[in-house]
Amino acid sequence: MNKAFVKESEDADEDESPESHLPVGTKNYMTVRGHAQLRAEFEHLVKTERPAMVQVVSWAAGNGDRSENGDYIYGKKRLREIDLRIRFLSKRLESAVIVDPAEQQNRDQVFFAATVTVCDADGEEASYQIVGIDEANALEGRISWISPLARALLKAREGDTVRFESPGGLREIDIVGIRYGDD
């Protein structure tokens, strides 16, 4: 059968990994910084990386036999990956609800984009910023608003003790501080 009529891979229609999917019926909240980062990646792919790869594939296609042409095969594969990422970013940016932490009125309670300092039972302090799922990075202290820790922290106040289920079991932490933006 002609290759034009068969799917090359089963996941060719999926947009990203399952953990990047939003729960059904929820909004795609993002901080201003997170939105800017996704926008910059989108612009880079559309204006720089994709045109460069199209040029490479075009050059490779002009070299003759495409069946054993590594540049052509790799280029087409990379072009599909770029197009998939562009489509994913486009959908995410279209559905984004941008939340500016500097505009938060109720600063004594934890909401999206807050940076929360917590203290655990061992007396160790840590700070986490509650961000959108596309900008979460635990190593940098940015946790997704749908994570168990963030959900436990939401609407809490300084001095509150919150409980949440972690991979290591049930944990209790005290909220030491809450800040928004450049507080």
pLDDT of residue 13: 43
**22-31, 50-59, 124-133, 145-154: which range is least confident on average?**
22-31
Tell me the one-letter amino acid at 88. Answer: F
pLDDT of residue 3: 47
Contact criterion met (CB below 8 Å) for 27 and 97: yes
The whole-angstrom separation of Cα 113 and Cα 128 is: 10
pLDDT of residue 167: 86
User: β-strands 161-166, 169-179: how paired?
Assistant: antiparallel
Domains and their CATH numbers in the chain: 27-98 (1.10.287.180), 101-179 (3.10.50.30)
Structure tokens at 15: 């947009």
The whole-angstrom separation of Cα 35 and Cα 134 is: 9
pLDDT over 70, % of the chain: 86
